[in-house]
Amino acid sequence: MESVRSPFRRLVVPLVAALVAATMVGGCSGNKVVGRGPAAVVNGEEISQATVTELLDAQKRYYESLDDPAAAERLAEFMGPSGNSFAMAEAARSLESWINFTIARQHLKASKRPVTDEDLAAARSEIEGQLQGQEIPIESVDKALLDFTVESAATTTALRALISEQVAKDNQDKLEGRIKALFDELAPQRPLCLNIIVSETEADARAALARVEAGEDFGAVAAEVSADPQTAEANGYAGCASPEQASQAFGGDFTDVEVGDTFGPSQQNEVFVVVEVGSTTGPTIEQMRPELERQVTAIDDQEVTTRLAKLVTDAKVTVDPRYGTWNPDTGTVDPPEAPTPASTTTSTTAAVEAIDPTAAGGGTSASN
């Protein structure tokens, strides 16, 4: 199944990467400044120019606080040609992060699922751990940037948990049927079920094989002497495969085999393996159940991602054209490819290379 691009990816990027790549901004200010239109409108809720400005400034302060040539170089790329402007691409990224955060927060509110103190504490602990792991002093990170990163991460985690709960509820009465359908699809592709004994030396492997050839039960010998704990605990059961897959894994010709046939010992990396054909009719559903449950979980995770993406594509978003155009399919703001004045009074900083969010702006570009 083709994966769906996560619409909230910028909210779950670890803070360290977000600070370095400048893909995470945010804030709590909703103040509206007279004479300026919103940077964006999301389902009727305005994201003010001041909000974007405050958190672009937070990123700027973070770069300025670092005594590092790389940070100075990054700051130069982050800023526009004038002291009061930011690079267009950075402003667009900041706004799209805010848009995605707003969509997530709105859905949680509509679902009456609050972001709890526990959610925030868990997010802060994880982010601070990432900072410590990268040897970045927490006190060096701008507080506004850190606080919003924590809020964003907590909101995203809460939203994904909510959607996961909804998917699980929708599928709770279908689990056994889904497992059975997967089993019916996969089991015929794996007719040979194999048992193995793993030994650290060839001599030990041959000694184990001799015991089996003398009449001892393969599973009992595997449980006693196999050096692989997982298969030893399962009496040597290693799984099921097609004849081609078995030949690739262990060597030999598994085309016309019978139950009880043995192969090896063959050397696999640094160990020696003896193989027994345990079945030629494929696995039972119980033998495959752990794998089938993992596959069902993966399918459900994909459904969660798809539903998250739909929240973005269904959102009604308009964007100040100085920042670019909202792309609902990717959850991004695509910067303009050519200078796009917002009005006849907009300064030249509204060109594609840089944007001054403090300048008076015109209308918004619409999507959906």
DSSP string, 26-75: --S--PPPTT---SEEETTEEE-HHHHHHHHHHHHHHHHH---HHHHHHH
Q: 205 and 317: one domain?
A: no
Weakest-pLDDT range from 47-56, 71-80, 181-190, 224-233:
71-80
Q: 83 and 152: one domain?
A: yes
Average pLDDT, the chain: 82
Q: 276 and 220: one domain?
A: yes
- Inter-residue contact 94 to 52 (CB < 8 Å): yes
pLDDT in tens, 116-148: 999 999 999 999 999 888 888 888 888 888 998
Q: 149 and 43: one domain?
A: yes
Q: 212 and 114: one domain?
A: no
Q: 208 and 244: one domain?
A: yes
Structural domain includes residue 346: yes
Q: 148 and 67: one domain?
A: yes
Q: Residue 248's domain is classified under what CATH number?
A: 3.10.50.40
Q: How many domains does the chain have?
A: 2
Full residue range of the structural domain in which residue 308 is found: 9-172+299-367
Higher pLDDT, 365 or 331: 331
Using the 3D structure, point to which of 255, 282, 309 is the last residue of a domain.
282
- Per-residue pLDDT for 341 more than 80? no
Task: State the first-to-last Cα distance of the chain, in angstroms, to the nearest integer.
Answer: 27
Q: 119 and 235: one domain?
A: no
Q: 244 and 342: one domain?
A: no
Structural domain includes residue 291: no
Structural domain includes residue 124: yes
Residue 64, pLDDT score? 84
Residue 16, pLDDT score? 37
Q: 268 and 350: one domain?
A: no
pLDDT in tens, 283-304: 999 989 999 999 999 999 999 9
- Separation CA 58–CA 362 (nearest Å): 25
Q: 163 and 136: one domain?
A: yes
Structural domain includes residue 269: yes
Residue 143, SS3?
Answer: helix
- Per-residue pLDDT for 324 more than 70? yes
Burial class (CB in 10 A: 0-12, 13-18, 19+), 242: middle
- Separation CA 275–CA 277 (nearest Å): 7
- Per-residue pLDDT for 25 more than 90? no
Q: 267 and 148: one domain?
A: no
